[in-house]
Structure 1
Amino acid sequence: MSATGLELEGRLALVTGAGRGIGEAVARALVAHGARVIATDLAPEGVGKLAREHPGHLTARFLDVTDAAAVEALVAEAEDSLGPLDIAVNVAGILRSSSVEDLTDEDWAATFSVNANGVLHVSRAAARRMTGRGSGSIVTVASNAAGVPRAGMSAYAASKAAAVMFTKCLGLEVAGRGVRCNTVSPGSTLTDMQRALWTASDAESEAAAAQRVIAGDLATHRTGIPLGRIADPADIAEAVVFLVSDRARHITMHDLYVDGGATLRA
């Protein structure tokens, strides 16, 4: 730990999907623990706000993770201007809910393009540089849906399962060169993506909608949340901070569920 007590001081981190939700929470947590952060997103508003709030500690950049050339260019530019990349966190993701019968080819392809291909592009660009230096940490934010079937979420679940196994395979390949690769798999988390799944009427409160998630749904074979609360994005961010820190120096190829027990670790 540094003299200031900030365990990530001096480290440079790249976070995708940092404009809101879990990505924003991850970027904030990394800064709070001393890291300098390159916060990227398709939408400039969220990361721009973060940069204004953390001058000198956070840099905002536009990034489309589905564009491999753009990812490679941004990582190269970041290393040239800000220094070696120590941490990469894949958070960017999309969810298009549909039954398999109604699932379009376009929705399937778009989901994989962000949730799986984007993880490949960012992780590959980061790993190529980290391995040469003999150190680094890559974390992919996946989902507990990657391990438990979910009705209406086949594309999302399949893409997240792909991201988890890709990250583990990468971790195996680069372990001997000092780079650790892990995943964090959240359950229901209070984000815009979660809210978009709710079917609550305009008159129903967010708390009531959340309570339905906590209670579970027998009709869709979905368990509730044993801990009795929906996660806050900060809960996921703290798990990420742990995995990229030296406290987790002997952990790689691990999938850390942060879901309040919702999957019963099935």
Structure 2
Amino acid sequence: MDGIGTRVALVTGAAQGIGAAVCEALAGAGARVAAADMRIGRPGGPAGTVPYSVPYAVPYLVPYAVPYSMDVRDPRAVEETVERVERDLGPIDILVNVAGVLLPGRAEETEDERWRQTFAVNTDGVFHTSRAVARRMAPRRRGVIITVGSNAAAVPRIGMAAYAASKAAAAMFTKCLGLELATYGIRCNVVSPGSTDTSMLRALWEGREPDEAHSATLHGDPAAFRVGIPLGRVAEPGDIADAVLFLASERARHITMHDLFVDGGATLRA
């Protein structure tokens, strides 16, 4: 992919699902990938002490990505990890914010702690990581920041108020950041997936027959005021990763503050 080459990429939420697919796509395009996630240990000692070309025997981790244990909720941990990545691999050229949680529940029944935890990961995490990386990108006058949001940020969803609100906040933050960093030549964009075959989606299907849940996802659920997916398929993590790869590349060099929906038309582009 044009412009990826041997650039250094930091991916949060890298241990599974979309994050792991993004790591694989970037590594496949030649990037040196720092895979950050709370689930990731540090085989062979502190992250970076094992040669980059050695595959790691870490569950969910894409081979040839260097693992970093990081909690995006903790600004100090984020700063320390970003500093360590730049020391180990070089200046970060690409940041992809993928880390996220979905704690479903009706708004009036949502407990304070569930609301706080949702925003701590989905919104504060994007802020902490983007801030730490942007501070370093700006003097270098180059870089790309991509936030993986959700089409739920654009369309109200029953039982997903906290998630949708947190993703909407993260998307607007990323666009504002893009406006502020444009003068440095740094591009900031959002990729908004719809229903994607990940553990997060399957958790939403719990308590229902798999075929019934899959059909409702594809064809809609009138009781929940939710339309289906016009393209008639649930996305795979690789579909989202391909969109991220495009926006990270030089083929998207004139695109910033954009929100790219990868949802098979599910939001009817509302």
Question: Alignment partner for residue 110 of structure 1, among 117, 120, 128?
Answer: 117
- 8 Å Cα contact 2:149-2:167 kept in structure 1: yes
The question of whether the paired residues in 2 share the 8 Å contact of 1:47 and 1:60 is answered with no
- Residues 18-68 of structure 1: CA distance to partner in whole angstroms, max 9, x if unpaired? 1001001000110011101000111127992465x63xx410011100000
**1:10 equivalent in alignment to 2:18:** no
User: Any residues of structure 2 matched to 1:145-224 within 5 Å, and which?
Assistant: 145-201=152-208, 204=209, 206-224=210-228
For residues 262 and 47 of structure 1, do their structure 2 counterparts lie closer, same or farther at Cα, with a shift above 3 Å needed? farther
Contact 2:16 2:60 in 1 (8 A): no
Q: Is the 8 A contact 2:190 2:258 kept in 1?
A: yes
Match of 1:243 in 2: 247
Identity %: 58
Tell me which amino acid in the other structure corresponds to 1:252.
T
Q: What is aligned with 2:260?
A: 256
Give the aligned partner of residue 86 of structure 1: 93
Q: Hey, what's the Cα distance between the residues in 1 that align with 2:212 and 2:103?
A: 23
Determine the structure 1 residue equivalent to 2:21.
25
Q: Report deviation, 1:233.
A: 0.4
Residue of structure 2 aligned with 1:58, choices 65, 69, 73? 65
User: Are 2:235 and 2:263, in contact at CA under 8 Å, matched by a contact in 1?
Assistant: yes
Determine which structure has the larger helix proportion and give its number.
1
Aligned-partner residue type, residue 140 of structure 1: T
CA distance, structure 1, for counterparts of residue 242 and residue 78 of structure 2? 25
Contact 2:82 2:133 in 1 (8 A): yes
Correspondent of 1:233 among 237, 249, 252: 237
Which of 74, 86, 105 is 2:81 aligned to?
Answer: 74
CA–CA distance in structure 2, aligned partners of residues 63 and 47 of structure 1: 18
How far the C-alpha of 1:72 sits from its partner, in A, is 0.5
Residues of 2 paired with 1:171 and 1:240: CA distance?
Answer: 16
Give the distance between the partners of 1:197 and 1:229, measured in 2 at CA.
Answer: 17
Q: Distance in 2 between matches of 1:101 and 1:110?
A: 17
Alignment check: 8 A CA contact 1:7 1:33 kept: no
Q: Using the TM superposition, give the Cα deviation of residue 209 of structure 1 relative to its aligned residue in structure 2, in angstroms.
A: 2.7
Taking structure 1 as the reference length, the TM-score comes to: 0.92
Counterpart Cα distance in 1 of 2:67 and 2:59: 9
CA distance in 2, matches of 1:33, 1:207: 36
Residues 209 and 225 of structure 1, relative CA distance in 2, 3 Å threshold:
same
Superposition deviation, residue 208 in structure 1: 4.6
String of CA shifts for 1:152-173, please: whole Å, max 9, x gaps.
Answer: 0000000000000000000000
TM-score by length of structure 2 reads 0.91
* 1:81 CA displacement: 1.9
Q: How many residues are treated as equivalent by the alignment? A: 256
- 1:150 and 1:50 mapped to 2: Cα distance? 30
C-alpha deviation, 1:211, in angstroms: 2.1
SS at 2:6 equivalent: coil
